[in-house]
Amino acid sequence: MSVKGSSSKGASVREIFSTMEYGPAPEADDVARDWLKRHGNRFGHYIGGRFTEPVSGEYFATQHPGDASELAQVAQGDEADVAAAVAAAKEALPAWQQLGPHGRARYLYALARHMQKHARLLAVVEALDNGKPIRETRDLDVPLAARHFYHHAGWAQLLESEFAGYEGVGVCGQIIPWNFPLLMLSWKVAPALAAGNTVVLKPAEFTPLSALLFAELASEVGLPAGVLNIVTGDGRTGAALVGNEGLDKVAFTGSTEVGRSIRKATAGRGLKLSLELGGKSPFIVFDDADIDGAVEGVVDAIWFNQGQVCCAGSRLLVQESVAQRLEAKLIERMEKLREGPSLDKSIDIGAIIAPVQLSKIERLVQQGRDEGYACFQPSWSVPKDGWYYPPTLFSNVSPAATIAQEEIFGPVIVSMTFRTPEEAVELANDSRYGLAASVWTENVNLALDVAPKLKAGVVWVNCTNVFDAAAGFGGYRESGFGREGGREGMYEYLKPSFVPGLPKYSSEELAAPAGADELDAGVRESSATPGLPAIDRTPKLFIGGKQKRPDGNYVYPVVGEGGKRVGQAPLGNRKDVRDAVEAADKSAAWTKNTAHGRAQVLYYLAENLSLRAPEFEERLRALTGADRKAAEREVHASIARLFSYAAWADKYDGSVHPTPMRNVTLAMNEPWDVLAVVAPEEAPLLGFVSLVAPALAMGNRVVAVPSSKAPLAATDLYQVFETSDLPAGAVNIVTGVKDELAGVLAKHDAVQAMWYFGSREGSEVVERESAGNLKATWVNFGRKRDWYDPVQGEGREFLRHATRVKNIWVPYGE
């Protein structure tokens, strides 16, 4: 194999005929060069419907990775540019909202059409700016980007009927990476506009051109000024955007490290946040798979877009009995891959985005070699002009090796073997990430048994790297939270209409329980048996199905209406929280239960609560000073709420998306596993039940912190739990000072999601501390719901937060 990639450039037709090598098949770049020239190879920001000079007057070069040549100068945005763009987006918002669903749908449709009309220009600009093969920009990036606008033109049209009771969040700040510049723009801009929001988008420093071209197309279709704003620049521009106080939502795609810093920077600001981060996705091949098909799958998984794909299949897990055969075929295939200039239509692999990324890949590959892993690279050499890296395979890698754990974001795959499906699942889940997974087997039973066990937002069966606007995309674990695409993606840009009108808690309502910081002398209860002292009835914590004394053995006084002592509650600490999380983590039985089984338990809880209704009413009266009628109402509403979620348990089901690639795509609502719930101070029984019941209904194991001031309404539930067939560890309760416990839960890495209903400050702590493992949070920013109102207190909003959507792609046809 002497003629590969760019080295074939000089071959004459006669030579090609005699060797039968590929000749070059270059796509003309004149259309893109003309466009750049029309702009004088220099671009300002796109703000308020026109291109503007950056306030600082600073520009930087964007280059073609295929030969390191400069394509254009682009504005470096700073805080002042960002402020101008946010102001333009804010100004445009009311008119854009008033335009209504149909008006917005027309614009989205026009954008989709216009993108299609300019598909070739877009494809060439993208290939030049990114260095990826034109074949990919032409056949995937651009058509899929247009498809997102078509799909979301549909959601815009259906907004009022399909998202009744919801409204747009407002001004959205969006930050995208360089690997799929136009596609990531469309994943962010299309749903934002469809939901009635306006946008400020920052493309990546390395790839700003397709976003600027898109802005021009938006102007041509007459998109109202200020609805879309593009501010170019590097990470500092991104940080300035995140820091702007005028935003209502931040959407980010990029590295986990920057995602984590954005989580911290936005904590407590009342913003909606979605993060689509890194991955180290498994590609699992079982021994009955079509091995040739699987080899082509690996090519698509890790050499598509030079492996610079967040969901790249970068860990090859092969069943031992076929590992050698697969590896031999893969090596043979690697020899035949073609690497070269992005505009050559017959290349498979283009250039790496930038020298910094190339060095990262080289460093990690060197580390793999230094650690003694066998490394294969094809015999042909890569072009010398630009920033190229050859396809690379590491064999027999230990699952703990750096190259098996760290995202390389380049054309490098590591392989390891397994013997049983259980081992495959264990290896697949041995990662802090959880974006995607690919499963190869001819046995559909095996595939559909394994898919739900994989901790990943997308599972592709016998396919990989397929995407569609109708199917949500997003991660588990440190791959982030939130989805892009589909119905679930729309919710990322909407909020319930009642939320802005909710009242704020008064400081009195939020005050910590009196005496919580002091040891309690105790309450002397009167004895029912004359002559004998009362038996101590101080409740304990509820952990792993058992009542447990708190670690510190401390209790605090529970003071009812008028300062009267009602009893004591255990003062849980960080160790108790850890024990509770561990119990929840271990208790898989509840998650494995069927939806019908969970419904039965929830009905049983309701039944047992109703048997004890008078006791709970008495307790509520003592705790809150409620009169008899109000106490009865709270108990009755709590029973009804349990009935609601028993009803929902087997009805909040997923959907099947008719994606266009001969696929059924199963969108499954999966539980978070361990969900932490911090209940509100008010309505101590109903508020608690309103949060714990939906979490349980969806199969989560719950660690709950009840109202600090009135915890006894929840501790009285232990006996209800114990007599209702709820498996040990499904619900764990730790009482104490709410915000302290919330902080510990937010930091805990085994908690995957957390809900907090309390103060604004507490909401901020939960959001900030959740950055460690990037758990999904749902907090109230100090706003008070009416738990009796069925719109505010129950329903799909709760169920949506109690689940995450996994899309399983199952192809059909021979």
Active site residues: 276, 310
Measured from the CB atom, the residue of 258 and 666 that comes closer to ligand NDP is 258
> 98-114 in b/e burial notation, b at 16+ Cβ within 10 A?
ebebeebbbbbbbbbeb
Binding ligand NDP by CB under 6 A: which of 9, 39, 329, 360?
360
Residues numbered 194 to 233 that lie near ligand NDP (CB under 6 A) are 202, 204-205
Measured from the CB atom, the residue of 310 and 705 that comes closer to ligand NDP is 310
Would you count residue 239 as binding ligand NDP (CB under 6 A)? Answer: yes
Determine the 3-state secondary structure of 506 from DSSP. Answer: coil
Output the six-digit token pair for 290.
Answer: 């079509």
Would you count residue 179 as binding ligand NDP (CB under 6 A)? Answer: yes
Would you count residue 367 as binding ligand NDP (CB under 6 A)? Answer: no
Would you count residue 79 as binding ligand NDP (CB under 6 A)? Answer: no
Would you count residue 235 as binding ligand NDP (CB under 6 A)? Answer: yes
Contacts 24+ apart (CB under 8 A), 523-529: 523/557, 523/565, 523/566, 523/567, 523/568, 525/567
Q: Which residue has the tokens 């596609």?
A: 183
How many residues sit in the footprint of ligand NDP (CB under 6 A)?
26
Q: Pick from 591, 550, 592: which is nearest to 674 by CA?
A: 591
Q: How far is the CB of 262 from ligand NDP (least distance, A)?
A: 6
Determine the 3-state secondary structure of 229 from DSSP. Answer: strand
Would you count residue 242 as binding ligand NDP (CB under 6 A)? Answer: yes
Query: Strand 171-175 and strand 166-168: pairing?
Result: unpaired
Would you count residue 431 as binding ligand NDP (CB under 6 A)? Answer: no
Measured from the CB atom, the residue of 357 and 415 that comes closer to ligand NDP is 357
Would you count residue 41 as binding ligand NDP (CB under 6 A)? Answer: no
Q: What are phi and psi of 372, to 5 degrees?
A: 95, 15
Sheet of 171-175: strand order equals 50-52, 45-47, 228-230, 198-202, 171-175, 249-253, 272-276, 480-481
Q: Pick from 199, 198, 191: which is nearest to 162 by CA?
A: 191
Q: How far is the CB of 255 from ligand NDP (least distance, A)?
A: 3
Would you count residue 339 as binding ligand NDP (CB under 6 A)? Answer: no
Would you count residue 709 as binding ligand NDP (CB under 6 A)? Answer: no
Would you count residue 76 as binding ligand NDP (CB under 6 A)? Answer: no
Strand partners, 163: none
Would you count residue 646 as binding ligand NDP (CB under 6 A)? Answer: no
Q: How far is the CB of 358 from ligand NDP (least distance, A)?
A: 11
Would you count residue 313 as binding ligand NDP (CB under 6 A)? Answer: no
CB 439 within 8 A of CB 284: yes
Would you count residue 190 as binding ligand NDP (CB under 6 A)? Answer: no
Would you count residue 175 as binding ligand NDP (CB under 6 A)? Answer: yes
Measured from the CB atom, the residue of 235 and 496 that comes closer to ligand NDP is 235
Binding ligand NDP by CB under 6 A: which of 283, 380, 409, 473?
409
170-178, 444-452, 532-540, 642-650 -> range binding ligand NDP (CB under 6 A): 170-178
Provide the H-helix boundaries in 178-255: 181-194, 209-220, 235-243
Q: How many CB atoms lie within 10 A of CB 541?
A: 25
Q: Which residues contact 805 (CB under 8 A, 6 or more apart)?
A: 457, 472, 474, 483, 486, 488, 654, 667, 668, 669, 670
Residue at shortest CB range from ligand NDP: 238
CB 720 within 8 A of CB 609: yes
Would you count residue 267 as binding ligand NDP (CB under 6 A)? Answer: no
Measured from the CB atom, the residue of 205 and 468 that comes closer to ligand NDP is 205
Q: Pick from 298, 460, 297: which is nearest to 806 by CA?
A: 460
Would you count residue 274 as binding ligand NDP (CB under 6 A)? Answer: no
Measured from the CB atom, the residue of 352 and 637 that comes closer to ligand NDP is 352
Measured from the CB atom, the residue of 63 and 357 that comes closer to ligand NDP is 357
What is the amino acid identity at position 555? V
33-39-45 Cα angle (round to 5): 120
Would you count residue 106 as binding ligand NDP (CB under 6 A)? Answer: no
Would you count residue 130 as binding ligand NDP (CB under 6 A)? Answer: no
Q: Pick from 226, 228, 234: which is nearest to 203 by CA?
A: 234
Measured from the CB atom, the residue of 175 and 541 that comes closer to ligand NDP is 175
What is the amino acid identity at position 65? P
Would you count residue 238 as binding ligand NDP (CB under 6 A)? Answer: yes
The percent helix, strand, coil of the chain (3-state, each to 5) is 45, 20, 35
Q: How far is the CB of 236 from ligand NDP (least distance, A)?
A: 8
Q: How far is the CB of 341 from ligand NDP (least distance, A)?
A: 22
Measured from the CB atom, the residue of 360 and 612 that comes closer to ligand NDP is 360
The DSSP string of 550-588 is: -TT--EEEEE-GGG-EEEEEE---HHHHHHHHHHHHH-T
63-71, 252-260, 552-560, 721-729 -> range binding ligand NDP (CB under 6 A): 252-260
Binding residues for ligand NDP (CB under 6 A): 175-179, 202, 204-205, 234-235, 238-239, 242, 253-255, 258, 261-262, 277-278, 310, 357, 360, 407, 409
